[in-house]
Amino acid sequence: MSLISALGLMSGTSMDGIDVAALETDGEAVVRRGPGGFFPYDAAFRAGIEAGLDDARIIERREDRPGGLAALEHEITLRHAEAVKRFLAGHPSLSPQVIGFHGQTVLHRPGEGMTVQLGDGALLARETGIPVVHDMRANDMAHGGQGAPLVPAYHAALAASLPPALRRLPVCFVNIGGISNVTFVPGRGDPVAFDSGPGNALIDQWVAAGSGLAFDEDGRIAGGGDVAQDIVARYLEAAFFGEPAPKSLDRGDFTTDLAAGLSLEDGARTLAAVSAGAILKARAHMPEPPLSWIVCGGGRKNPHIMADLRRGAGNVPVVLAEDAGFDGDAMEAEAWAYLAVRSLKGLPLTFPATTGCSRPVTGGVLVRP
């Protein structure tokens, strides 16, 4: 058994900062999870990324960097390099052999075979002195896939280490980031996965516009509001929810427009109900009902999303990643470390049932210092 030490870096659709996680793995069934860390973006830089989303709308080729995107990509990469250096300074026993680098998604148009993540893998390798695997979505799209989600291979590996009470398959992993995605892990065969709908993104946008806060910490704002069920129903009537899996979303595919006119509190509570409702609707696209739900990502910290999920799931357990023995904040960064090792070994990162690719395909570009 040959284990490779890896770091994973993730800056997700919530655009709040950089998650770093360490693990050792053979890229298959063996996963030895290490420490994780989070390095937040300051408000001004986060605003710069949001401005970059507007610049990205006119991209026609993946290599295009209109407006301020080239400068933004350079700065994002340097911030990732600084996060790696700070993380390793705090964990001097670690000696990673590879970094899995996601970058910052600014455009995702699966229908056009187009996805753009800002991040210069070669610059990161030079700055850190560590080989980097980046651009892990492109090869999937070249083979007809949606380019997302990529974490299912890691979720399937983790399913083998669930505690006895949750080890019955099938199980569904739920990642609630800016966009939510689900991974259905069956008793046999490849996982089934897809983006399920808006996660935290709409709540964050609503709260930022109405209060100036970056997000609704612990659901406190939503706690003073009520659910506008008619608005929830209108969101969940969107054609996306009826589309067959696999499928994926761009951050801009859903907006807060339907919630216009609600109070700050009612809007936050209603959009939390939308996030939960979107996840529950994902059951219709699974081969059979899951016997448990494992929830990770920042949205698990919103008690209203979790309460709505548990209410909607009935007697099926809905548990936090921590209750299953995992780190719900680090899991996506861990996945990028795991995928980097799979890339080094030429193992598939995606499968027909996770992204719609024509066959299981590997991916990623390796660059050395």
The verdict on residue 272 lying in a domain is: yes
Looking at the fold, whether 19 and 93 belong to one and the same domain comes out as yes
As for how many domains the chain has, the answer is: 2
318 in the same domain as 271: yes
Shared-domain flag, residues 360 and 315: no
Q: Establish if 320 belongs to a structural domain.
A: yes
pTM (2 d.p.): 0.89
Report pLDDT for 182. 96
Instruction: Supply the CATH number for residue 289's domain.
Output: 3.30.420.40
Q: Which amino acid is at 99?
A: I
Does 153 map to a domain? no
115/136 same-domain check: yes
Q: What is the pLDDT of residue 1?
A: 58
Tell me the per-residue pLDDT of 247-262, one tens digit each, with 9 for 90 and over.
988 878 999 999 999 9
Q: Are residues 319 and 339 in the same domain?
A: no
Asked whether residue 268 is assigned to any structural domain, the reply reads yes
What are the DSSP calls for 275-297, one per residue? HHHHHHHGGGGSSS--S-EEEES
Omega cis (within 30) before 170:
yes
**In a shared domain, residues 341 and 296:** no
Query: What is the rounded average pLDDT of the residues 193-216?
Result: 94
Are 103 and 231 within one domain? no
Residues 217 and 297 in one domain: yes
When pLDDT is averaged across residues 291-300 and rounded to a whole number, the result is 94
Asked if 103 and 11 touch (Cβ cutoff 8 Å), the reply is yes
Q: Is 181 helix (H, G, I), strand (E, B) or coil?
A: strand
Same structural domain for residues 205 and 283?
A: yes
% pLDDT > 90, the chain: 87
- Do 343 and 273 fall within a single domain? no
Does residue 360 fall inside a structural domain?
yes
Question: Are both 319 and 338 inside the same structural domain?
Answer: no
Question: What is the predicted pLDDT for the residue at 250?
Answer: 83
Q: Please give the residue range of the domain that contains residue 308.
A: 164-324
Q: Where are the alpha helices (DSSP H) in 91-163?
A: 121-128, 138-142, 152-159
318 and 339 share a domain? no
